[in-house]
Structure 1
C-alpha cells in the first residue's frame, strides 16, 4: 500500500467544514478526491453513487434519502443523482433554524468528477449554503520535489501529476491511454452522445499540438474536418471537464491594440506528452515543443496553488499587435504579477522585453527559468528560478 501524499488543500477543507453545511469537491477524474476526503474525515459516513442500489434509492425518494442518511456524510459521484440537491437545501434550511451553525456545519461533503453537469446544479440549488473546491492533479510541492535540473523536471512533466503514475508502478503510456479511453466512454459520451469517437480523439490530438499557443478554433475545426459549432461544443466539454485550460487575454486598462484570442493549455502535462507521443524525457527536453510544455507546466503550478488555497486570483496572458507578449499575468486584486517563462538556463536581457513594455501599477515582474540565481534582469524585472515560486 502506498503512503498517503498530503494535499495542500487540506487546511482550507478543514476550515470549511467548521463553517459551511455543505462542501463540494470537484475536479477531473482520478485526481484523488475520495482518497483525500476519506483520509481527512475518517469518521464520516461514506457512500458512493457508483453503487446502483444507492443511486436508485436516492432517485426514487430523494427527500427520504437525505433525511435518513447517517450524517456527517461524504457523498461520492454526486453527479449521478442531481435530484437530491434541492433536498439538501431543504434539509440545511430546516435545521439551520433549530440548530446552532456549528451543529449543521460540515454535514454533507459532496464529490463529483463531471464538472460540466455538477457545477450548474450546485451553484443554482445550493447558493449561499455551499463551499466549493476543485482538486487538480498533484503539484510539485505535494510531490516534495524542486527539480532544479532541466532533465529531472522533464521526467516529471512526462510522468504527469495524476496520482496513479506517481504512486503505483504503472507506466505513463499505459495510464494515460486508459485514462483517455475512460474519459471518453464515461464522461463525453454521456453528455454529447458522440457517434464518431475517432473524430473526437483526433480533435484532442490536434489541440495537443497547439498547447501553449493561441487557439484558433476555426483552424482546428478545418484540420479535423468538423463544423465550427461542433468544435466549439467539444472544446467547451474539454474545458469544463478540466482536460484543457483556456487562458484568456488581458486587455483592460491598456490602450494598445491587444490580441483577444485565448491560449490553450492542458491541465496535466503527462496527458499532453502522451498525446504528442513522447516516450522519454530526453526526447521531450530536446524537442521543438519543450518550451511550450514547460510553460504549460509552470502555469498549471500557479493554478493549483490558487485552487488549493482558494486565493481567488485571476489569470491572463498579454499579447498585442506589435508582438509584445507576457506569458502570465496574475491579478491578485490589489496588485499584479507578470511572468515570462523560459525553459533555459542562460539569462538574456531581451527576455525582459515584454515585461518592460507593459505597465500596470502596482506590478511585480519576473522572468522564470532554470537559472539558479535571483538577480535583476532589467529595470523593475527580477530573474528567478522557476522552482522558487513553488
Structure 2
C-alpha cells in the first residue's frame, strides 16, 4: 500500500467538524481527497458515488440512500448525485447541534456550489484541497525546495500525491491517463462536448500560453471554434480544477491597466506533460521555464492561503505601458507584491516594476522571489529572497 502523506488541511478540518454539521472538500481529481478522509476519519463510513449502482440509488431514492448509510458518513464525488443535498439538509436540520455528520467531496466546483447555496447555506464548511504543497512534501523530500535541480525535477513531476508516494509509476502514462479520464468523466458530466479531440487541442493551446494573458479570440481562432465555445470551455476547465485564472489588479480610475486574466495550470506536472517537457535539461532549454516556475510559486501561495479562513484576493498587475508585477496578494487593506524569477543571478532592474507599483500602491511586502538562497536588497524597500521563504 502506498504511504500516506499527512495533509496540512487536517488541523483546519478538525476544527470545522466541531462547528458545522457538514463539510465539503473540493479540488482536482487525484488531489488526495478520498485518501485524506479514509486515513484521517477512520471512524466514518465511506461511500463513493464513483460506483454507478450506488450513484443511481442516491439519485433515484436519496431518502433510502441516507437511511441505508447513516451518519457519520463520507460521501465521495457527490456531484454525481446532487439530489442528496436537499435530503441532507432535512436530516441536519433535525439536529443542528450534531456537528460533523457528513463530509462530502467533489471535483466540479460550479455544480457543487449550486447545490450548496440552494440547500446547505449556513450549515456547511467548504475547503479546497489541491495537490501536495512543498510544505507537505517535506515529509518525503526534506529541504528539497532549496536544491534547484530538485525543484526543476518536481515541477516536471508535479504534485499529485500518487506520483510522490509511488516511484514505480510511469509518469508519462499517468498524465496521459489523467487527461483522458478527466475529459471522459468530468468534462462530459458537465457539458456534452462532441468534438473531444478538438477540446484536447484546446487544452494544449492553453498550456502553450501558461503565464500569459488569456486572449480568447486568438485561442478560439487557432483551435477553429467560436469565441462563445472557447469561453464555455475555459469555464469548464476552471470549474474542474485543471486551470487557474489570475485576475488583473485594477481600479476604475485608470484606463491604462490590462483587464484580461492570466492563465495558469493547477499542477505544473500536467503543464509540463502538455508542453512536452520531460527532463530538467528540456526545462532549462525551454522558453517557458520562467512561466512554469511562476506557475508553481503562484499555486504554492494558493495552496497555503486555501487553509486560511480570511478573505484573500490574488491578482497580477500590468499596465499598457509594460509595467508588470507577477503576483499581488490583498487581504483587507494589506498588499503583498511579488516578482517571480527563475534565476540565481539577480539585478536591480528586476525590482523596477515593483518600485513603480509601490509609488501608487503602498505595500506591506514587496519582494523579488527567486532561486537565490541569500536575502539581497535590490531597491529601497525591495529585496530578493528565496521563493519558499515567502510562502506563509
TM-score, with structure 1 as normaliser: 0.95
Query: How many positions carry a matched residue from both structures?
Result: 384
Q: CA–CA distance in 1 between the matches of 2:309 and 2:154? A: 25
2:81 pairs with 1:49: no
> Partner residue of 1:379?
380
Q: CA–CA distance in 1 between the matches of 2:275 and 2:57? A: 44
> Partner residue of 1:15?
15
> Partner residue of 2:245?
246
> Partner residue of 2:191?
192
Q: In the TM superposition, what are the counterparts of 1:347-362 in structure 2 within 5 Å?
A: 347-359=346-358, 360-362=361-363
CA 1:237–1:94: 2 relative to 1, 3 Å: same
**Structure 2 residue matching 1:272: 3-state secondary structure:** helix
> Partner residue of 2:103?
109
Question: CA-atom RMSD, angstroms?
Answer: 1.5
> Partner residue of 1:149?
147
> Partner residue of 2:371?
370
TM-score, with structure 2 as normaliser: 0.94
Unmatched segments (≥5 aa) in structure 1: none
Whether contact under 8 Å (2:10, 2:40) holds in the other structure is yes
Q: CA–CA distance in 2 between the matches of 1:205 and 1:255? A: 34
- Deviation, 1:114, is 2.4
Q: CA–CA distance in 1 between the matches of 2:327 and 2:242? A: 20
Whether contact under 8 Å (1:247, 1:263) holds in the other structure is yes
CA 1:75–1:83: 2 relative to 1, 3 Å: same
> Partner residue of 2:165?
167
Whether contact under 8 Å (1:28, 1:115) holds in the other structure is no
> Partner residue of 2:127?
133
Q: In the TM superposition, what are the counterparts of 1:143-292 in structure 2 within 5 Å?
A: 143-144=137-138, 145-168=143-166, 169-252=168-251, 255=254, 257-292=256-291
**Structure 1 residue matching 2:94: 3-state secondary structure:** helix
CA 1:34–1:231: 2 relative to 1, 3 Å: same
- Deviation, 1:256, is 6.3
Q: CA–CA distance in 2 between the matches of 1:33 and 1:378? A: 43
The CA deviation string for residues 273-307 of structure 1, in whole angstroms up to 9 with x for no partner, is 00001121111122111001000000000000011
CA 1:311–1:282: 2 relative to 1, 3 Å: farther
Whether contact under 8 Å (2:316, 2:328) holds in the other structure is yes
Whether contact under 8 Å (1:251, 1:258) holds in the other structure is yes
2:118 pairs with 1:124: yes
> Partner residue of 2:79?
79
**Structure 2 residue matching 1:358: 3-state secondary structure:** helix
- Deviation, 1:56, is 2.9
Whether contact under 8 Å (1:172, 1:270) holds in the other structure is no
Structure 1 residues 30-39 or 355-364, which shifts more?
355-364
Unmatched segments (≥5 aa) in structure 2: none
Whether contact under 8 Å (1:211, 1:264) holds in the other structure is yes
**Structure 2 residue matching 1:215: 3-state secondary structure:** coil
- Deviation, 1:255, is 4.0
> Partner residue of 2:296?
297
Whether contact under 8 Å (2:247, 2:260) holds in the other structure is yes
Q: CA–CA distance in 2 between the matches of 1:364 and 1:256? A: 26
Structure 1 residues 188-197 or 135-144, which shifts more?
188-197
Whether contact under 8 Å (2:107, 2:241) holds in the other structure is no
- Deviation, 1:67, is 4.2
- Deviation, 1:12, is 0.3
Whether contact under 8 Å (1:160, 1:269) holds in the other structure is yes
Structure 1 residues 134-143 or 251-260, which shifts more?
251-260
Structure 1 residues 74-83 or 251-260, which shifts more?
251-260
Whether contact under 8 Å (2:314, 2:329) holds in the other structure is yes
Q: CA–CA distance in 1 between the matches of 2:57 and 2:221? A: 47
Q: CA–CA distance in 1 between the matches of 2:258 and 2:76? A: 42
The CA deviation string for residues 174-219 of structure 1, in whole angstroms up to 9 with x for no partner, is 1111000000111112222112111001100000000000110000
The CA deviation string for residues 211-237 of structure 1, in whole angstroms up to 9 with x for no partner, is 000110000001101111111110110
